[in-house]
Chain A
């Protein structure tokens, strides 16, 4: 039986009692977020709390989280993409991700506190990574 969009509970750092996922890659990323020492809390962005305007419609990232590393806090955006959906230049996911990157870059440039970080990772990398920091290292697009 498919667990797609079936709420799953038992999280240590999830903002909600339960969170639902569209695919195994998202679920794997949630497990990594939940076990990461740097992560204070994470929010499954479904229903949508954060969306960013792009030329190809809104970018609605899969996760929003707050992390603290070496005493500094930051807000983070994490998007997990199936390889099939990460098409060539000019494709909707690419246009959206590029715009989201521009959004985060602008926020970083404006010295907003806490600063924001951003990463798009592929599903296969979410399944392969053993820690959240390793997953961020695999990002196909990111701003630290």
Chain B
């Protein structure tokens, strides 16, 4: 027993050391470790009835076999990494040598197959030192796959394959029994389902067929990973870090700003589409400018074209939108991707769309007629525009999942670059939407920290249909714009941080300022000594704020963090349950706020740029034949 405990602790430690977990991943990982450690034998030698009995004693619901353990992690937090880490842990801790991963979308299977290969920059099993040479069974080698008795066997398939969609699964291969027979024969099969909510329970024949097929293999455990759990009897959500909490913490996804403008009664759907798109384009341009500027001052970050995602009603509507953007707003053919309806093409479309956040991407607008679902996890969607009947608060919330991922994996401190804009130009009023948001995300600072809601102020529909005209230069002039570089100021790091800690309560949700303990799930609270919090928080602050360097600023930042914690009552004598990441984000914001308030310093250097304004194309409302004559200023409206 002691040896078992040691082996599991050791596997846990090795994975933790290699994985660089985010806090929610770590908490989910630790929760699993606690469950596995509580069993009295290793899974391969534990009869299934005893396994179920012991899990029930841990207050888990197990109405049937296999026991179902579900992790709810918001989009962008890192479900896949958690899955890979759990496999590495269960293998390293002698709990399994046979894992079946199910993913219901081709794009996800493709991605997982790439990441399973040793040498992949995002190696699924964390580190080759943990899982050196897994025996891998993909769709492509299903019949020639030969499981290895001593290494980790990983089978990666879609649920359709195991429910009879692929005869190769149950057909004996050239080398021996069928894959199905092999999986049924092992005593340590553990099944992992990515995006488990694609497989809802009650009422769905497809899903029950899948569940039956999984049960038929006789796995010992089933782990599900989802962003939106479906409540099912027998599903145990053993760790949850949902979207509201994720947005409130503001660490792993873009912030969300919802722009609201109710449709006026007298306006046609077509006219309102244009007003909505116009505002969306305006936001897209703002994102583009902010990204360009950010990339110019951070050469290590490559510029990737930001994308606006439009949800249209049907194919005809999508085509109308695409045509309008091309004809009236000058978009090129290669800048717009209009998805073509029909479920059979969905997977192909997703494959093409997956490449959209590459540096060569030219697509600026994606018009789609279905909710693009999981598998499209690109990082450069910055504006989401649901049109017509889809422009409701609930739809806007659902469609924003595709735009939450951060290009750099973290926020960079530029509000425009860090924020996803979601338009909600529908029938709901601003007040209704605020009410809905409050109901969903909570009120007060907690709620407003999740999403911000603003009236869009597009004014009345005043432009009407537009057509481009050419405005010519009347005279030929040129002027030189001096080449001027902005010199970053030296950050201020010696301010009195204790005076601002009253704000910490609203910001660092979950930390009791008196006890410095995390409120919420105490079991998940990690205990640290003061110096390790100072060290971790300092490292994160320096990593997050590009103008700080470890060599120059570490000591001053550490002093600032230490002062904050000791002012709050922490001491080096006892461990504290404060989250270093949250401390870091708070301290980082305080530093950044002061940094941005410092006067900008410019230096003239290099050759000037010559500007020669020439003719340009301008969108003119169709009711005008051309430019109008000058009028008295009082007549301008």
Contacts and interface: CB of A to CB of B under 8 A. Distances in A.
Interface of A: 1-11, 14-18, 20-21, 24, 27-28, 31, 41, 43, 47, 49-58, 64, 66, 75, 89-90, 95, 98-99, 102-103, 105-107, 109-110, 112, 116, 127
B596 A55 contact: yes
A127 B633 contact: yes
B481 interface: yes
A50 B486 CA distance: 16
Interface residues of B, number: 51
Contact of B462 (A4, A20, A28, A56): A4
Given A6-B624, A27-B636, A47-B616, A53 B486 contact: yes
Given A14-B474, A24-B636, A7 B618 contact: yes
Contact of B628 (A6, A15, A54, A112): A6
B630 A10 contact: yes
Task: Pick from B289, B618, B636 the residue with the most CB of A within 10 Å.
Answer: B636
DSSP class of B's interface residues: helix, strand, loop or mixed? mixed
B633 A15 contact: no
B627 A18 contact: yes
A9 to B, nearest CB: 4
Contact of A107 (B473, B604, B621): B604
Complex A-B, nearest 10 residue pairs according to Cβ-Cβ distance, in ascending order: A106-B602, A18-B627, A110-B604, A7-B627, A10-B630, A2-B462, A99-B600, A9-B627, A102-B600, A24-B636
Contact of A105 (B486, B602, B636, B637): B602
Contacts of B472: 16-17
A102 B293 contact: no
B637 A54 contact: no
Given A8-B627, A57-B416, A31 B633 contact: yes
Given A2-B462, A15-B477, A58 B630 contact: no
A58 B289 contact: yes
Nearest to B602: A106
Contact of B613 (A24, A28, A43, A89): A43
B611 A49 contact: yes
B286 A57 contact: yes
Task: Pick from A18, A105, A109, A127 the residue with the most CB of B within 10 Å.
Answer: A18
A41 to B, nearest CB: 5
A58 B293 contact: yes
B295 interface: no
Contacts of A28: 633, 636
B415 to A, nearest CB: 8
A2 B613 contact: no
